[in-house]
Structure 1
Amino acid sequence: MQQVDVAVVGAGVIGLAVALELRSRGLSVAVADKNDPVREASWAAGGMLAVDDPENPAPLRPLSAWSRDLYPEFLARIEQHSNLLVPIRTHRALQGAHEGGSSPEALNALKEIGLSPQGYAWALQDEGSLDPRDLGAALHAACTHTDVSIRSHCTVDTLAREGAGWRLHTVGGGGDIFAGRVVLCTGSWAGPRNLPVFPRKGQMMAVEMGVPLDTVVRTPEIYLIPRGDGRVVIGATIEDAGYDKTVHNADIAALQARAVKLFPPAAQAPIVETWAGLRPATHDGLPLIGAVEEGLYAATGHYRNGIQLAAATARAIGLQLTGESLPIDMQAYAVNRTFTPVFAQPS
């Protein structure tokens, strides 16, 4: 039986970010995932570092701002230990809203890239984006190079108290794990403690844009994310479809039609990839970060913001596990909080 200081269940960006943070604090860490690392929501994500997205719940703002401040250090550590670059692909975003007025800076930016206001109120935001697949690959390499044990195709089916720690019974990979503490980073899956999370499906596409676009363009209905190499990611549907990740041609066509209305050159852009992912949702749209009970923690339920919140989530878990104070109030993200529903869990 493998024995470690901390076991992390789930090897998405959140799980691996937590593992790397804990390893940097001198703790031995094992990560178990029922699939391959960073192949679920992390692989499917858009990668916008959208601190000021008006679609986000207001209580998310302190965590988002903290994560923004941590991100340069977060990426530097990953790049140092992985020997891989995680480039910031864009450095500004045009945010369209249904209410308000457009700023002069936003109108100038719209003109630069050939967009018309389309009835939205536009703001120009100082906001980056990255390719989550770059981040996932580098995080995986950084964890491997710092001696984090990562088990793929290893399902943790039960979790039980044993002595001063926890026994994780696993199926499919390497036997049981004994850990002093456990962090559940199980994404859209409730995991062995039946956390209050559920999936919300998103279908997306990438096109080869024939004209330059260096700015994220986002409205409540659609977003376009340039990758810096000619590809532009267009997304995304929001569906209550359980764990189904089927891509439907009609939904992809509808996404492209919305994109064309906003940015006409998208009409001639060939589709190079389509995919679907599952956002880990909670009833109030806020993540679950912190203690479930003594020695057991959660870091999940980030919905559309897992990439942006990874830096602060990892740091928060690191500080909590080592008994240090946090710079922000985390009560809004407490696992055992009372939920004020934003949307209902699908039946």
Structure 2
Amino acid sequence: MQRLDVAVVGAGVIGLAVALELRGRGFSVVVADKGEPAKEASWAAGGMLAVDDPENPAELWPLSAWSRELYPEFLARVEDLSDLRIPLRTHRCLQGAHEGESSLEALQLVNELGLKGDGYAWTLQTEGSLDPRDLGAALRAACDRNGIAVKTMCAVEAITRELDGWKLATSQGEIAAARVVLCTGSWSGPRQLPVFPRKGQMMAVEMEAPLDTVVRTPEIYLIPRGGNRLVIGATIEDAGYDKTVHAADIAALKMRAEKLFPPVAAARVVETWAGLRPGSPDGLPLIGALEEGLYAAMGHYRNGIQLVAATARALGLEVAGEALPQIMTAYAANRTF
């Protein structure tokens, strides 16, 4: 049995990006996923690069800021390696909050777009968004084109130490690797890590005219997706691993969106779905070494798309034995809760 340098467990955007980063550093890499690549939380995500979202924990900001710095290079590299485009769909965000004061430029845009923004303090943020499905497809293609085997429908049932490496027992046989990176999202995986699912139901509608700005409040967000499509989200539920979409919840989301942006009332619903955000006890991701040769990158909650660039870079540095930025201590995978 061939022994690879690294086995990545989980093929969401985090796992695929980590695999690609490690391959770029010269490691041989295999990825195993119990389902299809980028079809769980990655597929369901909104895709906002929401570094300055006031709903995020303050402790997350340093990692978010680092990821924003890395993002242009990250996207360019994935596009180059995959030969696929990952367009930014928007470049600004109207952020509504229950406290604070509105800026003049934000109020002008609220009126220009026809939002019913009474009751919110509005600010205008320079912030991108992308379609996570574009990113997932490009990462998968980049892995395929660069010598990374992505094993689908390949459940990892156990991970055991073997001499100076690891043996993974999977539904498709055994994998031997010197190092293992767990990127299992809401699933705690073989090591029973402290992550859990937070369900989110969402919808996409077809508008009569396009919107060019993300609109986000604590209650609702509207994300233009190209053309006249608009994504509306999202519920936050403790429902275990249930991904059932409920018509009543979708109707409530649409009504909330109509109240903020009346043109949604005439929009046609074209898709509904639910995803499982990977939560952690303190709301921060788990990134880095668990023990010698075993690493984790999970628990990103609502920010996996935003944080993927920094997460992949951090794992690349750590696996290669290079120094990590000091900020990474706050997100250590083996920290005590």
Normalising by structure 1, we get a TM-score of: 0.96
Q: What residue number does 1:299 align with? A: 297
Return the alpha-carbon distance in structure 2 between the equivalents of residues 80 and 272 of structure 1.
Answer: 32
Shift of 1:326: 2.1
3-state DSSP of counterpart to 2:333: coil
In 1, Cα distance between the equivalents of 2:66 and 2:89?
Answer: 21
Number of the residue aligned with 2:287 = 289
- For 2:104, the equivalent position in structure 1 comes to 104
Superposed counterparts of 1:64-79, under 5 Å: 64-79=64-79
Distance 2:311 2:232 in 1: 27
State whether residues 106 and 123 of structure 2, in contact with CA within 8 Å, keep that contact through their aligned partners in structure 1.
yes
- In the TM superposition, what is the alpha-carbon distance from 1:328 to its structure 2 partner? 3.8
Alpha-carbon distance between aligned partners in 2 of 1:317 and 1:225, rounded to the nearest angstrom: 30
Cα pair 1:63 1:328 within 8 Å, conserved: no
Per-residue deviation at 1:105?
A: 1.2
Q: CA offset at residue 116 of structure 1? A: 2.9
- CA deviation after TM superposition for structure 1 residue 144, in Å: 0.5
1:158 aligns with: 158
Between the two proteins, the alignment pairs up a number of residues equal to 337
Displacement of 1:290 after TM fit? 0.6
Letter matched to residue 304 of structure 2: G
Note the alpha carbon deviations across 1:241-276, whole angstroms, 9 max, x for none.
000000000000000010000000000000000000
CA contact (8 A) 2:116 2:259 kept: no
Q: What letter corresponds to residue 226 of structure 2 in structure 1?
A: G
Contact in 1 for aligned 2:210/2:227 (Cα 8 Å): no
Matched residue of 1:138: which SS? helix
Shift of 1:18: 0.1
Task: Give 1:215-234 correspondences, 5 Å limit.
Answer: 215-234=213-232
Alignment-derived partner of residue 34 in structure 2: 34
Give the corresponding residue for 2:188.
Answer: 190
Corresponding residue of 1:344: none
Cα distance in 1 between the residues matched to 2:325 and 2:189: 29
Q: CA shift at 1:285, angstroms?
A: 0.6
| SS, match of residue 204 in structure 1 | strand
The answer to whether the 8 Å contact 2:12/2:38 transfers is yes
Q: What residue in structure 2 maps to residue 8 of structure 1?
A: 8
CA distance in 2, matches of 1:95, 1:213: 15
Alignment deviations for residues 122-165 of structure 1 (CA, whole Å, 9 cap, x no partner) = 11000000000000000000011001010000011100000110
Q: What residue identity is the alignment partner of 1:274?
A: T
Is contact 2:224–2:231 with CA below 8 Å preserved after alignment?
Answer: yes
Shift in Å, 1:223:
0.1
2:316 is the counterpart of 1:318: yes
Distance 2:237 2:253 in 1: 13
1:99-129 per-position Cα deviation (integer Å, ceiling 9, x unaligned)? 0010111111112211132210011000000
Secondary structure at 1:105 match in 2: helix
Extract structure 1 runs of 4+ deviating beyond 6 A.
none
1:48-63 to 2 correspondence within 5 Å?
48-63=48-63
- 1:164-219 superposed Cα distances (whole Å, 9 cap, x missing partner): 10000111x2x211111000000000001001000000000000011221000000
Report matched runs for 1:114-133 at 5 Å: 114-133=114-133
TM-score by length of 2: 0.99
Query: Counterpart of 1:265 in 2: which secondary structure?
Result: helix
- Are 1:263 and 2:229 an aligned pair? no
Task: Describe the SS at the equivalent of 2:161.
Answer: strand
The alignment partner of 2:296 has SS state of strand
Asked if 1 retains the 8 angstrom alpha-carbon contact of 2:210 and 2:229, the reply is no
The CA distance in 2 between the partners of 1:105 and 1:164, in whole Å, is: 59
Q: Provide the residue aligned with 1:245 in structure 2.
A: 243
The percent of aligned pairs where both chains have the same amino acid is: 74
Give the secondary-structure state (helix, strand or coil) at the position aligned to 1:176. strand
CA distance in 1, matches of 2:109, 2:325: 35
What amino acid maps onto 1:87 in structure 2?
P
Give the conservation status (yes or no) of the 8 Å contact 1:49–1:129. yes
Contact conserved, 1:62 with 1:328, CA < 8 A, in 2? no
Q: Residue by residue, what CA displacement relative to the aligned partner does 1:325-347 show, whole Å, maximum 9, x if unpaired? A: 123421111122233xxxxxxxx
Tell me the amino acid that sits aligned with residue 214 of structure 1: D
Quick one: which amino acid aligns to residue 36 of structure 1? E
